[in-house]
Amino acid sequence: MIRAFLAIDLPESLKPGLALYQQELKRSGADVRWVAPGNIHLTLKFFGNVPLADVETLAQAAGEVAAAQAPFQLKVTGAGAFPNLNAPRVVWLGLEGDLVPLARFYRQLEKAFETLGHPPEGRPFHPHLTLGRVKSPQGRHGLTKALKELPPPNWPAFQVREIILYRSTLSPQGSTYTPLKVIPLGG
């Protein structure tokens, strides 16, 4: 069994900016487990533990949906938190751009995976980039203040031309993501 997920990776050019954004938020002193900037991505589907033999089937299903999806553009926007800024549990950066095609693509992927026994996500799709997960209430006030005051990044939009099926390996040092299959968009 392996832990697997499907995601949109970010251009390397955005990763230094993500690290700087996290540095600003770290000044709050909040107790947050920060995601390594190189691991920040837009999750399309988290499969959890799947047999290694299922990887090819999942990649094939994703490939069929992706073949009909034209490339689209996204742009990183301001910071936020789930469930909300005053009670942050997950700290994120939002996305804007071609959100309608992205949402349609997401729903088509969910349908394809449901036929393979992977039920759809129980909550609405809210495209975001997870920066960190709050571990305790320590420093929460400062984090809320920092999130409200941090200006949105002024980074260029990026083109999404592929999705990636990843293996996630957990360790005390954090997660390691290994690409299993790069799936090009068609359209």
- What total number of domains does the chain contain? 1
Just list the catalytic residues.
Answer: 41, 128
Give yes or no for a contact between 123 and 134, defined as CB atoms under 8 angstroms apart.
no
- pLDDT score at 82: 96
Q: What's the rounded Cα separation, in Å, for the pair 59 and 113?
A: 10
Q: Give the pTM.
A: 0.94
Burial (0-12, 13-18, 19+ Cβ within 10 Å), 77: middle
Upper half-sphere CA count for residue 98 (Cβ side, 13 Å) = 16
3 state SS of 70: coil
Q: pLDDT for 142-163, tens place per residue?
A: 999 999 999 999 999 999 999 9
Instruction: Say if residue 187's pLDDT is above 80.
Output: no
> For residue 59, what is the domain's CATH number?
3.90.1140.10
Q: pLDDT for 100-132, tens place per residue?
A: 999 999 999 999 999 999 999 988 999 999 999
Provide the residue range defining the domain that includes 100. Answer: 2-184
Over residues 4-25, mean pLDDT: 96
